[in-house]
Amino acid sequence: MLGINRKLEELQRNGDFIKVGLVGAGQMGRGMISQIESMAGMRVVITADIQIDNVTNAYMKSGVLPGEIIETNEMEKASTAVQEGKVVATTDAQLVTSLPEVDVVVDATGVPNIGAKIAWDTILNRKHIVMLNVEADVTVGVILKKMADASGVVYTGSAGDEPGAIMELFDFADALGFEVVALGKGKNNPLNLNANPDTAAEEAARKGASPKMLASFQDGTKTMVEMTAVANATGFLPDQPGMHGFVSDVKGLPEIFRLKSEGGEINNKQIVEYINGIAPGVFAIIASEKEEVNHELEYLSMGEGPNYVLYRPYHLTSLETPISIARAHIYNEATIAPWHGLQAETVTVAKVDLTAGDYLDSIGGFTVYGHILTAQDAYDQNALPLGLVDKNVRLKQNIKKGEIISYADIEQTKDSTIWRLRRMQDETFKAQTKKAVSIKA
């Protein structure tokens, strides 16, 4: 099997290329467009965003000439433009998912409900879907994968996102027959459960980032969501609710991830975890029972055992997404997907005292944050998945700061795609997992 670079070069030599459709021209989308414009055998032929200027600016910054960018919401005009070698800017996401010329769609919106709808529409149109939207994936990825499998297309998370980067380490170690003790990532900033767009505004302005997005990193939600995706892909579980959040450098990881009975700090093996002190890297803790394997690992300066750390000190977010696009199109493979079904859940916790009648906002907002539980614990507590939270969810009773919000605590004032998919997911897998929660619209 040729490497992806050589396969892409082969496509280009043969006058062909992978035609990518993108929804979301924010920071991630813009970076991806520019990266792909530097590549052989691939192009983002159509991009949708609610602000059309975001799309045209993204294309121009990538080197596309203004005269080569066609603004339209019309199918025929968009098809003609792509066939003529031009690119399309649109405000209509459904045009991206339905355009016949598109091979692979990428969701870079970051909004769970929008991402769920994009994935649904893409799969119905029998195209591969790459999710730069882990929040949607951990909420309804199990049913979306089942739909994609039935449709003969690939549903996948993205290379470059931390779950995808972790999965690469896991696949490498697992294929070689190592025991994988733990999988994890570094957290970029100290955990601050009180973070909100106001408290994050100054730092966000310095970094040119969204205050809401930054708040979702600071309050731990993004970390919980990412490790939920890893859990659903591998079957590994959080060692305790919310994980431990150990403080360590890379060198100290092998000792931490020994069982408490063996002098370490964990209760179980095959766990997901995050570490303060090794960001922006990801890691896998591995072990072997074979004397000769351990001897060679020590000879290779991997440490004295019994645990060893595989560490990747970078992840390039959407700049790596083209790898997942190519794997899906060329090899019909996913980078990461919920192969093990619903193993963990990121549930909804009150960020402040909330009052009956209050509407919840969304991820990175003022009212809630995410907390990882095993799927069984989430089911036992009837906990509300964080990906279902939006402006149409209203509290029926008072909730204290730090309390998990349950389905019984809320009412949904307007239905949405992600709620419908979650109901379908729970019903579809109820018989085999016995973990489904009945959601009443």
End-to-end alpha-carbon separation of the chain, Å?
48
- Cα torsion 121, 139, 401, 390 to 10°: value is 10
**What does the alpha-carbon distance between residue 132 and residue 434 come to, in Å, rounded to a whole number?**
29
pLDDT of residue 150: 98
Instruction: Please check the confidence at residue 431 and state whether its pLDDT lies above 70.
Output: no
CA distances from 205 to 133, 143, 173, 198, 208 (A): 23, 38, 40, 11, 5
**What does the alpha-carbon distance between residue 341 and residue 288 come to, in Å, rounded to a whole number?**
27
pLDDT of residue 32: 98
Summarize pLDDT for 131-171 with one digit per residue, the tens.
999 999 999 999 999 999 999 999 999 999 999 999 999 99
**What does the alpha-carbon distance between residue 327 and residue 8 come to, in Å, rounded to a whole number?**
11
pLDDT of residue 438: 41
Name the pairing type of β-strands 179-187 and 155-157. Answer: unpaired
Summarize pLDDT for 91-122 with one digit per residue, the tens.
999 999 999 999 999 999 999 999 999 999 99
pLDDT of residue 204: 87
Q: From 334, 273, 261, select the one nearest 309 (Cα to Cα).
A: 273
Task: Determine how many CB atoms are found less than 10 A away from the CB of residue 34.
Answer: 18
Say if residues 332 and 155 touch (Cβ distance below 8 Å): no
pLDDT of residue 133: 97
What integer is the mean pLDDT of 168-195?
96
What integer is the mean pLDDT of 336-346?
98
Say if residues 282 and 309 touch (Cβ distance below 8 Å): no
Residue 436 vs residue 369, higher pLDDT: 369
CATH for the 4-158+319-331 domain, from 3.40.50.720, 3.30.360.10, 3.40.50.12160, 3.30.420.40: 3.40.50.720
As assigned by CATH, the class of the 344-433 domain is alpha beta
Place of tokens 């614990």: 377
**Structural element, H or E, at residue 188:** none
**What does the alpha-carbon distance between residue 218 and residue 367 come to, in Å, rounded to a whole number?**
14
Q: State residue 297 phi and psi, 5-degree precision.
A: -65, -40
**What does the alpha-carbon distance between residue 144 and residue 328 come to, in Å, rounded to a whole number?**
15
What integer is the mean pLDDT of 292-311?
97
Say if residues 414 and 326 touch (Cβ distance below 8 Å): no
Render the burial of 13-28: b for 16+ CB within 10 Å, e for the rest.
Answer: eeeebbbbbbbbbbbb
Instruction: Please check the confidence at residue 412 and state whether its pLDDT lies above 60.
Output: yes
The residue ranges of every structural domain in the chain are: 4-158+319-331, 162-314, 344-433
Instruction: Say which DSSP state 384 is in.
Output: P
Summarize pLDDT for 33-89 with one digit per residue, the tens.
999 999 999 999 999 999 999 999 999 999 999 999 999 999 999 999 999 999 999
**What does the alpha-carbon distance between residue 344 and residue 134 come to, in Å, rounded to a whole number?**
13
Instruction: Please check the confidence at residue 436 and state whether its pLDDT lies above 70.
Output: no
Say if residues 232 and 138 touch (Cβ distance below 8 Å): yes
The mean pLDDT of the chain is 95
What integer is the mean pLDDT of 309-337?
97
Confidence category of residue 441, pLDDT binned at 50, 70, 90: very low
pLDDT of residue 440: 36
Confidence category of residue 435, pLDDT binned at 50, 70, 90: very low
Residue 430 vs residue 36, higher pLDDT: 36
**What does the alpha-carbon distance between residue 119 and residue 102 come to, in Å, rounded to a whole number?**
14
pLDDT of residue 188: 83
**Structural element, H or E, at residue 99:** none
Instruction: Say which DSSP state 266 is in.
Output: B
Q: From 334, 286, 333, select the one nearest 172 (Cα to Cα).
A: 286
- Cα torsion 141, 267, 181, 436 to 10°: value is -20
Q: From 369, 361, 399, select the one nearest 386 (Cα to Cα).
A: 369
Say if residues 91 and 49 touch (Cβ distance below 8 Å): yes
Cβ neighbors of 416 (< 8 A, separation 6 or more) are 113, 390, 392
pLDDT of residue 2: 66
Q: Where are the alpha helices (DSSP H) in 128-210?
A: 134-151, 162-175, 201-207
Cβ neighbors of 65 (< 8 A, separation 6 or more) are none
**What does the alpha-carbon distance between residue 59 and residue 387 come to, in Å, rounded to a whole number?**
31
Amino acid identity, position 42: M
**What does the alpha-carbon distance between residue 394 and residue 381 come to, in Å, rounded to a whole number?**
19
Q: Where are the alpha helices (DSSP H) in 152-252?
A: 162-175, 201-207, 211-218, 221-234
Instruction: Please check the confidence at residue 415 and state whether its pLDDT lies above 70.
Output: yes
Summarize pLDDT for 261-292 with one digit per residue, the tens.
999 999 999 999 999 999 999 999 999 999 99
Instruction: Please check the confidence at residue 437 and state whether its pLDDT lies above 70.
Output: no
Burial class (CB in 10 A: 0-12, 13-18, 19+), 74: middle
Instruction: Say which DSSP state 403 is in.
Output: P
Instruction: Please check the confidence at residue 21 and state whether its pLDDT lies above 90.
Output: yes
